[in-house]
A and B are shown apart, each in its own frame.
Chain A
Amino acid sequence: MTATSVARTAALALGDDALVLSHRLGEWAGHAPVLEEEVALANIALDLLGQARILLSLVGDEDELAYLREERAFRNLQLVEQPNGDFAHTIARQLFFSTYQHLLYGRLAAGDGEFAPLAAKAVKETEYHRDHAEQWTLRLGDGTEESHARMQRAVDTLWRFTGEPFQPVEGLAEAPLVEEEWLASVTTVLERATLTVPEGPRTGAWAAGAGRQGLHTEPFGRMIAEMQHLHRSHPGATW
């Protein structure tokens, strides 16, 4: 099944989000702070990769799309391409993204659009991801002095990327509709975690909708260079 042309833009945006964040989480393998997190982070990465494969397949060949597009053709949010940083940074990124994804998929699953069947499955996965990120936000925020400081720094650093998910995307009218719920939910979690909701803007002049238009941050090019190099070195090969 391929998507209608309107839904292709949306499928590419959502598929790239999942693909790129899955890749970032894959970088944690063998480096996590406890074994249980090796399992959890890989599990989330796998769920996201599964979503990416379904979404990209709606648009075309999943491997061609993942491995042969240039940086400027990727439509993922700038949020998900941000480097892992420390564990707090990874958790803040996950909290912001999973909350968005869970709310969005909840809405898509309830509707009768092209993504409803996919969203019905993915919403269960994203609920688990969201819970994992929330639990860790509480533990780090309300843990030790050091973990509190690190978690606050992570939230502050990534805050300026949190407006982009709610910019309009063709074929995805639902995205802007979940912004208020997102803000309310994230605010509650941050406050429970004894953290301060940042005062800075949620989109800079650059970040607003930029990733969705193929404008990315510098670390992203290096990430896809690593991701694509083997595939590109063997044109036409099957694996």
Chain B
Amino acid sequence: SGGKGESTRTILRVVILFLIAGAAVASRLFSVIRFESIIHEFDPWFNFRATKYLVANGFESFWDWFDDRTWHPLGRVTGGTLYPGLMVTSGVIYHALRALTIPVDIRNICVLLAPAFSGLTAFSAYLLTNEMTTSPSAGLLAAAFMGIAPGYISRSVAGSYDNEAIAIFLLVFTFYLWIKALKLGSMLWGALCALFYGYMVASWGGYAFITCLLPLHAFVLICMGRYSTRLYVSYTTWYALGTLASMQIPFVGFLPVRTSEHMPALGIFGFLQLLAFLDYVRSAIPGRQFQTFLFFSTAGIFGIGLLGLVIATSAGFIAPWGGRFYSLWDTSYAKIHIPIIASVSEHQPTAWPAFFFDLNMLIWLFPAGVYLCFQNLRDEHVFIVVYALFGSYFAGVMVRLMLTLTPVVCVAAAIAVSSILDSYLNAKSPSPEEVAAAEESKPAKQSALKQASKPVVGVYSLLSKTVVTTAMLIYLLIFVLHCTWVTSNAYSSPSVVLASRMPDGSQHIIDDYREAYQWLRQNTKEDAKIMSWWDYGYQIGGMADRPTLVDNNTWNNTHIATVGKAMSSREEVSYPIMRQHEVDYVLVVFGGLLGYSGDDINKFLWMVRIAEGIWPDEVKERDFFTARGEYRIDGEATDTMKNSLMYKMSYYNYNTLFPPGQAVDRVRGARLPDTSPTLNTMEEAFTSENWIIRIYKVKDLDNVGRDHAAA
């Protein structure tokens, strides 16, 4: 009957895992069912465009694709400046489905890629947790948590075709393979770990997290005196193969030997060689003095290595940390030196409610799970502890890194819940007499005092079992409700279409973005250059299919500052800039009529700041504030503000919508003057239904050579 119970359990496991995968996929489909199957947000539009290019032109031309329709007039060497993992994955799926005679549109594959991979993420969380504990339920709980936790759903709903869609699966799976390799001390598992690490490097810039976490884990193990030959085999195999694998990606190239982010991995690699050698010598020659000598020489060489690294970094052989990475340590660095990093909303520190919102009860089970890891501290538990510490720190510094914290929270919380359930869900109660008898029958190795002080442990009463189990069950159910509610209300709205409710409760869709992009696509010539703020670069490239000046890949800060200067200067200054860059149309986003707060007037100060960083004499942030230091757009606004191109383009003819004296900006809550700003160098080409997107055509030079204001 033992065999039969075993097979029943296996079937149950498989069924439960399939149900979890089903729930993970289903809970991500809100936006597809409510709206339609489209790509959301900004970045995914570039990924989608690149995937279409890959599918249409094949892998080789994708690999060295020079894109001349972005960053006009510079262009972008796309093949060497992207992580190709996501596109290649969906390209492979596309061709595999075609080979199976299931021709699916590439857009649907891109939209549904993230939900599909979330099922795999849940499965790898199951595998990872099973390595941590012997409890049969922990893995399944972790899979269930991982499947529906909003912290992960927020980046992987259907339509969110971003790198994180597959990267989190690869992250968790690489960690699983690492733990497996470390436990078995097997080269093959180390090599598998390196291969998946390579895949992760190909997919997401967050691979640096793995590159730093694995050496840190190894280092902590060494410091705890847990160096073993298994650690040597698994780490060095991973490093040797993984580093070579990561260097195959053109975007990464020589970074693994040249930048500071990768130096911990190299340092631990060298340190392990030394340790292995000393370990061998120690086994060869016994002797107490020699061991102390070993200890000191190890510490000494480690110190010298660290010193050499510092010297090499300061001498410039090794590049220092990049700005994005550095701002994780010095949290005020980005705000002072690199406004473009600080201007992104998801690079802000996390507030407390966000942790509860994204993880609900997992966040208070998480420390308990980490504590339980301390109780039987084996090598793999050290990993969870290290990961938990660093994951929490990074998630506290930056909102978007909540994503890398979520896997370890799910694993630790699952360990905590399963240990509660294992203790309280055991139907067989020990009777006190039996326990006492068992205690007495043990050989009297322990001292009498110790035995006397030891309480009789065990859960006896059925009542306490029922109460605790029921409470846990209710929490779990509430967790499911919370996750569904959060996913449905907070994370399932495509930013391309804005949904609002009519007074009778029916849904009203505001579709101005696509209206305007479609207008651009159909009514402008094929190579008309569009100037807009960088936020909309990818969407214009993806939906309107027109060349842009700047886009969300903010690789050239000066070029962005040029656009910022053109937007924030007087027309006489902006017009030559736009002529020089062959701009045909200028696109601004204006939410004043509808109360849409994410518009360009609210982003305007960032344009000013970024432009001021390059031309401090020509653009000054101070000039955009009133004498009392207020940022105003009504009659009291400063002259610099009123004469800036952005202000003029946003409010051009806006007062004609209202009766005299009634023109109101609903976002800023301000009453506007009755006269419209005058635009001399450009003419209004298109304004969408709700005035969210306004497109202006840049006028040609005057026929008889006058300047535009005189003409």
Pair from one complex: no
Interface residues of B (CB under 8 A from A): none
